[in-house]
Copies of this chain bind each other. A is one copy, B any other.
Amino acid sequence: MTATKPTNAAGALVALRFDRDVLWALDQTALPWHERELPLRSAAEVADAIKRLAIRGAPLIGVAAACGVALEVAADPTAATLARATDLLKAARPTAVNLAWALERVRAAAAPAPEGAALAAAARAEAEAIHADQLAASDGMAAHGADLLGSDAAPAQLRLLTHCNTGALAAPGRGTALAVVAELARRGRLERVLATESRPLLQGARLTVYELGRLGIAHELIVDAAAAGLIAAGAVDAVIVGCDRVAANGDVANKVGTYGLALAAHANGIPFVVAGPTSTIDPACPSGAAIAIEERAAGEVRSAATETGPQALAAAQTSCRNPAFDVTPAALVTALVTERGVAREPSPESIAKLLA
């Protein structure tokens, strides 16, 4: 671990830094209580950090996985290691497609290179290219999303609701949905943000509140169950969330609770906007029904992360179900914001157009 401030020269949060032979990852399980970076030196260490959500957010785990492969083949630049590291990291989490997408990019770039320094260099260069692409994608989403939500027809000062964490801790740069929020704030079009706590792992209470505080953006924290009632009460102009996988028909898998927010937005006539890089779109997945939903350990539901570590909220033997994601049908999505532009009322046609 290191005491290095996880920020760049401009003071922005840096969730991942790829040093010569170490991937430094801001430990997201320790925030907001401790700002510390984990030094990751192998594919297995990166896979473990992804599994236990020290690194999280669909675009960020894609970048981290690519770096994990590059680390592994730097130590042993063979085709066998390239394949092994790719398989190991692909299995870390099942739902976000960015992971598989980034790994396939690294594999495809490195596989043709001769074993040895050239293979290692090709993997490294592709991992860095993925990082750079996702950084640029964040700026693209911010601009397109702010143009959409901050149109002349919208309220002058928007009150947005967001779920989970979709900022610099979830994707390179300013993030996905939170990049749109930050851009609207920069343009003077944001009144405030309602941030859901996002149980069980509290990415909203721990990470989004931390990021919004750093950015100086006015915000209020709510329990997940309060969102629908506040939307019905007229406290929200639009909902904006990220995504972990978008099917070819526009169905969206995202953090558990997203579908309920989409139902509430739809029932009350406010926009429900999803932001994600095109790397989150899975053209091979026909619809949400084909998306594997990760079920995580019961202990996450029975406890909560606190300053003093995890604390039990329920009796030790309580049976739990713990789906980490849910699926929002395309029909409930007002618009999908990507770095290449916006698909309004996403459909197979508009999704295909974004990928063309």
Contact = CB atoms under 8 A, between A and B. Distances in A.
Query: Could you tell me the dominant secondary structure of chain A's interface residues?
Result: mixed
A209 B304 contact: no
A92 to B, nearest CB: 22
A330 to B, nearest CB: 14
A320 interface: yes
Contact of A323 (B32, B198, B230): B230
Nearest to A307: B312
A322 to B, nearest CB: 7
Contacts of A220: 319-321
Contact of A306 (B202, B228, B306): B306
A318 B199 contact: no
Contacts of A225: 196, 198-199, 224-225, 255-257, 260
B321 A230 contact: yes
A231 to B, nearest CB: 9
Nearest to A219: B319
A259 interface: yes
A288 to B, nearest CB: 9
Nearest to A262: B228
Given A213-B315, A313-B202, A321 B226 contact: yes
A216 interface: no
B224 A224 contact: yes
A263 interface: yes
Contact of A263 (B260, B306, B312): B260
Contacts of A255: 225
B228 A259 contact: yes
A6 interface: no
B229 A301 contact: no
Contacts of A218: 319
Interface of A: 32, 194, 196-200, 202, 205-206, 209-210, 213, 218-230, 232-233, 235, 255-257, 259-260, 263-264, 267, 293, 301-302, 304-308, 311-315, 318-323, 325-327
A6 to B, nearest CB: 17
A61 to B, nearest CB: 21
A222 B311 contact: no
Most buried by B among A235, A263, A301: A263
Given A197-B199, A221-B314, A306-B311, 7 more contacts: A205-B313, A221-B318, A221-B320, A223-B257, A224-B225, A233-B293, A260-B260
A308 B312 CA distance: 9
A311 B206 CA distance: 13
A204 to B, nearest CB: 9
A312 B306 contact: yes
Contacts of A230: 321, 323
A323 B259 contact: no
Contacts of A222: 301, 320-322
Given A32-B315, A260-B227, A314-B209, A306 B307 contact: no
Most buried by B among A196, A199, A223: A223
Contacts of A314: 32, 197, 202, 205-206, 209, 221
Contacts of A267: 263
A326 B232 contact: yes
Contact of A223 (B256, B259, B311, B312): B256
